[in-house]
Structure 1
Amino acid sequence: MTGTFISVLPPLVAMLLVILTKRVILSLGLGALTAAIIIGGYQPLDTLQIFFSSFIALFITDEGLNTWNIFILLFLLILGSITAFISLSGGSRAFGEWAMKRVKTRVGAQLLTVVLGMILFIDDYFNALTVGQVSRPVTDRQKVSRVKLAYLIDSTSAPLCVISPISSWGASIIALIGSILVSHKITDYSAFSAFMQIIPLNFYVWAAIIMVFIIVVGQIDFGPMKKHEKQAIEQGILFDKKKQLKDEVQEELPISTKGTVGHLVWPIIVLFIGTVSMMAWTGINGAEGNVSLVSLLENTDVALSLIVGGLLSLAVAYVQFAQVLKKDDKLTSNFYLKATWVGMKSMFGSVLILIFAWLLGDLISQLGTGEYLASVINQSNLSHDFIPVILFIIAALMAFSTGTSWGSFGILLPIAGDIAVATDISLLIPAMAAVLGGAVFGDHASPISDTSILSATGAGSNLIDHVITQFPYAFTAAVAAAISYIILGVSGSVIIALAALIVMMAGIFLVVKMFGTKTEKMI
């Protein structure tokens, strides 16, 4: 049954169940079980043996422990603890108070949100909630509508996380790419090197970020956002009080009033410097004397580097919390264990999604799902040039329907890899980039997306209002990205495709400036 139409059944089962149940882990697990049933010839004992053998192989191989996968999962847990201590120590609160004294204009308040969103790239959940908590008092004072704040948060959380190698998303994506390269015996480049090549090809991310600056710096709004901004400026109505806002996230930890801006900044700086330094050190050692930027990137141990950077960052967060303990009588040393556990627990869902995504990817690779889909594309006489844009659209539809980028990554990245390898290996990087970009767009447009929900929550906005006002901006960026993928496929040139994207965004700016509502005219 491998390499036939039946091989498409497992990912279809996973997709359908995600849409119907909204339970990503269960859906990925049942999709993987379906693949094991087919591979095992519908024999119960063989099915169980295949399923559990593949599961164990995620952590233990013939060569010993699979340190790559193990380190990636440990990094996610460490990252959760770092986030918990930043909040507990009052770092986010202190930064918000600092910013309120210095930001004096509407553009400044929005740019603060954008810059924070681009800096706090380590995790989309952390980004959405932290940026919302920090920026909201500032944007409220400058009469920026809550839906506008939610848009700025949403459009600088997932897009930055998906192109940052030292974020929870980046680490997980690199891990998925690594499994794809191994399954197809691709040794021309490492998983990290492939991820770095994907970054400039993630056209939706660049289009979305450019769109944010067009809207903020140009002080222009269009679509439903125009109404909300006008009400905020002219009447001081920041959100519709008749609509029930989503309740604030119930914190399991208190927030200290003794924290400083450094309690937010230093753990992030140490995470970045520690991880990059370790990547350089492992890359130099792996290059064995033949040191260049390319050889360094290809030989670096990203998973180990993330662990070292994460542990250093967590150590800094621990030390800073010790300083806060001496000043805040409401806190006790018991919070060391509690905050560590609460932070790790917040990542359990992401860890399980990643594990089952790995499992499904391995099993559908054994089934030859990608090879079958590739043969369908070949028989349809569809030009290979359109594979990236087709994958972009499919990923967008899936993420929109399911509300999850991670689930879409887990299901579609291995399939994209299979299709590219079976048709044209040069399309592997563009195909994976298209999946990542399409999934982020679908996530932005979906009312059941976790990042949309958290962005609305962090901003104090009504969820549906946020989705409705954000969609025209996200869709505009997606159209520009889709056209860029077509140009990439036809021309084969990344530079031409990126140049076309920039030209399109410049044209969009001129059109929006002509027909949109300039904010300063409302004042």
Structure 2
Amino acid sequence: MTEDLPILTLLPPIIAIGLVIATKKVLLSLGAGVLASALLVANFNPLETLRLVWTNFSVIFWEEGAVNTYYVYILLFTLALGVIASLILMSGGSQAFSDWAIQRIRTRRGAQALGAGLGIAIFIDDYFNALAVGQVARPVTDRHHVARAKLAYLIDSTSAPVAVLVPFSSWGASIIGIMAPLVAASTLSVSDVGAFLGAAGMNYYAIAAVLLVWVVVVLGLDFGPMRGQERRAIMEGETYDDSEEIPGEIAEDLPVHSPGAKRALVIPFLLLVAGVLGGIVWTGYRGAVTAEDHVAGSGVGVLDVMASTDVTQALIYGAVLGLASAFYYYVRYTSSNPRFSTSTLGRGVWSGLQSMLPAVYILLLAWMLGGLIGQLGTGEYLGGLVESANMAPQWLVPVMFVLAGAMAFSTGTSWGSFGILLPIAGDIMVNVSGGDELLLAAFGAVLAGAVWGDHCSPISDTTILSSTGASCNVITHVMTQLPYAISGAVIALIGYVVFAATGSGWLGFVAVLVGLVGVAVLGKTVLQRLEDEIPEEEQAKRSLS
């Protein structure tokens, strides 16, 4: 049927995108896209449709007579992160780190820098970032009269934007899993990690959002509704409006041991990162020296290692070390406390697993949809339309940024947006003349738009978690963050337009930096730093109160 009416190949992605915008139910929408794709590939044969759906699901776990470790390891790593988060919270590691930091941070700028710095340091997962950074930084920012809305902004703008740039994060691992078959179908000679890093370099919004955080912290650029929140915090000492509904504990009210130790947070994540980095080097070196084109006795370079690494296996190494150390500190600090029974441990583990299940479900359906869209030939059809319309493929890059942003804003999920759009973008680019060279830029634009829309959406899970971690009203967080998110998006869009006009990713990046400098200069010229509006002596008195 699709051979006679190739326009029908657009139907599954239209159904998925249309439903995701109309219903805001990502799983339902992805599932509908999977079913529609399978029906078209099978020419509406019901038995063949069921077979295709099952085949595309089962190959995620089992392929060619063996476990498909690539996808299975990504899922296991994602689930392990949820368990690690729960164990650290219950062992009191987050609270202990907060108590330690309060004694060492003396200024409002320092308190904000703590939130931003921790947000970047805890890059492994955006959900855990929102949990941990809020618990660690909130006592410090409250003491120095930093508005809860400002803390929520710092958390939200250093969670997903950082996680999406790092290959050994839950985002990175998942994105690599989606991108890998698309890159393999192109003519690019690049490893999975290399492809991810190339796309990260073109993720102008994430880069702009993280850099803008530091511009705001260092220069004190408070504009829009955020300025009113910060003025009240500084002048009146009220970091939030107590008449608003403030979110409480997230998910399950797990017990927290006291006193804890900061090492219960620091050591597990240092070991997790060390395990992943070590695993990347080890699997890369092992792969390089056993490659068919390797000359015995010759050296192995960094590029050889990165080209041969097995990042998903490395993620498991890190997850095992992080999980083992988190469990060790949990047992060490809670074994003598009668509140922490075996059932409490089980409740914490289950709570951690549950926190990651939505991401797992989205991943499974996104992988299935990507496989079926490839079989359907949607990309070939769209690529043919682009070529016949004489549309320069590089101009698809800014278009994809805007489209992904609109989808993520409407649905409240960046994962669902890039789960749908990455396969479409990849399929288009590999079927357009000259598109292979633009493939990574298109991936970067999709990821950038997804994070931007997610930042602006009041129904986004990361928006809700960030406001909860900061104990800030959700709508207050959305309205105060929106001007910063829009500023970052405009800067990113300028970068993509420059890229489309010149074909140079470096010039696009320079345009982003120029845009950030422009915001800094304009803000510094027009806005007075709020701390300068009160006498220095009074400010010091308030800081210590």
- Above 0.5 in TM-score? yes
**Is the CA contact 1:234–1:522 (under 8 Å) kept in the aligned structure 2?**
no
Runs of at least 5 residues in structure 2 that lack an aligned partner in the other structure:
535-545
After superposition, what is the alpha-carbon deviation per residue over 1:68-125, rounded to whole angstroms, capped at 9, x for unaligned? 0111111111111111111111111111111112211110110000001001111111
> Which structure 2 residues correspond to residues 75-474 of structure 1 after superposition, within 5 A?
75-182=77-184, 184=185, 186=187, 188-288=189-289, 289=294, 291-423=300-432, 424-474=435-485
After superposition, what is the alpha-carbon deviation per residue over 1:19-38, rounded to whole angstroms, capped at 9, x for unaligned? 23322122211110111111
Give the aligned residue type for 2:467.
A
Runs of at least 5 residues in structure 1 that lack an aligned partner in the other structure:
none
Deviation of 1:365 (Å): 1.2
After superposition, what is the alpha-carbon deviation per residue over 1:248-281, rounded to whole angstroms, capped at 9, x for unaligned? 3243421111321100000100011111111111
Deviation of 1:490 (Å): 2.5
Partner residue of 2:542?
none
**Is the CA contact 1:258–1:327 (under 8 Å) kept in the aligned structure 2?**
no
Change in 2 beyond 3 A, CA 1:326/1:447 = closer
Q: 1:408 & 1:326 partners in 2: Cα distance?
A: 43
Task: State which of 33, 45, 48 in structure 1 corresponds to 2:47.
Answer: 45
Structure 2 counterpart SS, 1:243 = coil
**Is the CA contact 1:387–1:431 (under 8 Å) kept in the aligned structure 2?**
yes
Q: 2:109 & 2:300 partners in 1: Cα distance?
A: 45
**Is the CA contact 2:188–2:436 (under 8 Å) kept in the aligned structure 1?**
no
TM-score of the two chains, using structure 1 as the length reference: 0.96
Deviation of 1:346 (Å): 1.9
**Is the CA contact 2:163–2:170 (under 8 Å) kept in the aligned structure 1?**
yes
Q: Does 2:505 match 1:494?
A: yes
Q: 1:250 & 1:344 partners in 2: Cα distance?
A: 11
Mean alpha-carbon deviation: is it higher for 236-245 or for 398-407?
Answer: 236-245
Q: 2:40 & 2:528 partners in 1: Cα distance?
A: 57
Partner residue of 1:508?
519
Task: State which of 56, 63, 80 in structure 2 corresponds to 1:61.
Answer: 63
Partner residue of 1:520?
531
After superposition, what is the alpha-carbon deviation per residue over 1:415-468, rounded to whole angstroms, capped at 9, x for unaligned? 111111112110001000000011000101111111111111111111111111
Change in 2 beyond 3 A, CA 1:325/1:202 = same
Mean alpha-carbon deviation: is it higher for 202-211 or for 429-438?
Answer: 202-211
Structure 1 counterpart SS, 2:158 = coil
After superposition, what is the alpha-carbon deviation per residue over 1:149-176, rounded to whole angstroms, capped at 9, x for unaligned? 1111110001011111121111100111
After superposition, what is the alpha-carbon deviation per residue over 1:332-379, rounded to whole angstroms, capped at 9, x for unaligned? 344444433332222111111100010011111111112222222223
Q: 2:153 & 2:186 partners in 1: Cα distance?
A: 41
Change in 2 beyond 3 A, CA 1:218/1:386 = same
Give the aligned residue type for 1:145.
A
Deviation of 1:413 (Å): 0.4
Partner residue of 2:22?
20
Aligned pair count?
522
**Is the CA contact 1:179–1:358 (under 8 Å) kept in the aligned structure 2?**
no
Q: 1:291 & 1:334 partners in 2: Cα distance?
A: 50
Give the aligned residue type for 1:421.
V
Change in 2 beyond 3 A, CA 1:338/1:447 = closer
Structure 1 counterpart SS, 2:515 = helix
Q: 1:477 & 1:296 partners in 2: Cα distance?
A: 35
The share of aligned pairs that are identical, in percent, is: 45
Deviation of 1:129 (Å): 1.7
Deviation of 1:522 (Å): 2.8
TM-score of the two chains, using structure 2 as the length reference: 0.92
Mean alpha-carbon deviation: is it higher for 221-230 or for 105-114?
Answer: 221-230
Give the aligned residue type for 1:67.
T
Q: 1:355 & 1:178 partners in 2: Cα distance?
A: 15
Structure 2 counterpart SS, 1:346 = helix
Deviation of 1:303 (Å): 0.8
**Is the CA contact 2:34–2:365 (under 8 Å) kept in the aligned structure 1?**
yes
Q: 1:44 & 1:323 partners in 2: Cα distance?
A: 56
Change in 2 beyond 3 A, CA 1:482/1:257 = same
Change in 2 beyond 3 A, CA 1:343/1:186 = farther
Q: 1:383 & 1:403 partners in 2: Cα distance?
A: 31
Partner residue of 1:478?
489
Mean alpha-carbon deviation: is it higher for 288-297 or for 506-515?
Answer: 288-297
**Is the CA contact 1:85–1:317 (under 8 Å) kept in the aligned structure 2?**
yes
**Is the CA contact 2:407–2:453 (under 8 Å) kept in the aligned structure 1?**
yes
Give the aligned residue type for 1:114.
A
Mean alpha-carbon deviation: is it higher for 138-147 or for 369-378?
Answer: 369-378
Q: 1:385 & 1:32 partners in 2: Cα distance?
A: 29
Structure 2 counterpart SS, 1:240 = coil
Give the aligned residue type for 1:460.
S
Q: 2:259 & 2:240 partners in 1: Cα distance?
A: 31
Q: 1:118 & 1:7 partners in 2: Cα distance?
A: 41
Q: 2:268 & 2:374 partners in 1: Cα distance?
A: 39
